[in-house]
């Protein structure tokens, strides 16, 4: 199983990443076992902070570009086909930070 940090890293999500006029301020993820050693799901939370007057639509489209293609990521012993799906929720906070909630998935490749 690819650890959540490894999954996010392969898709390019690291703290301080700049997308448009936003900076990735916080990255959180956890995993759930669907079938041990074979299939996992991930709960992902990405918090972006605006760097200046910004339009979150640009951020949203750049984010979609980063997750559009699946990746093959090696777990401890085996490769997994990994995906991150489109955000299922987007929250804009009073301080203009934007939080994207996404789901990821990893399935062992045989």
pLDDT digits (tens, 9 = 90+) for 9-28: 999 999 999 998 999 999 99
pTM: 0.93
Count the alpha carbons within 13 Å of 62 in the hemisphere toward its beta carbon.
16
- Residue 110's pLDDT band (boundaries 50, 70, 90)? confident
Q: Is 13 exposed, middle or buried (0-12, 13-18, 19+ CB in 10 A)?
A: buried
| pLDDT, tens digit (0-9, with 9 covering 90-100), for 61-78 | 999 999 999 999 999 889
- Please state the domain count of the chain: 1
End-to-end C-alpha distance for the chain, whole angstroms:
13
Q: Note down the domain range covering 21.
A: 4-108
């Amino acid at each position: 199983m690819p650890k959540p940090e490894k999954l996010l890293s392969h898709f390019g999500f690291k703290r301080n990443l700049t997308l448009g006029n936003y900076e990735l301020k916080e990255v959180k993820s956890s995993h759930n076992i669907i079938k041990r050693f074979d299939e996992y799901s991930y709960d992902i939370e990405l918090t972006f902070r605006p760097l200046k007057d910004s339009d979150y639509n640009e951020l949203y489209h750049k984010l979609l570009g980063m997750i559009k293609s699946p990746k093959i990521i090696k777990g401890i012993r085996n490769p997994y086909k990994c995906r991150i799906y489109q955000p299922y929720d987007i929250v804009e906070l009073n301080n203009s930070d934007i939080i994207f909630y996404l789901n990821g998935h990893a399935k062992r490749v045989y």
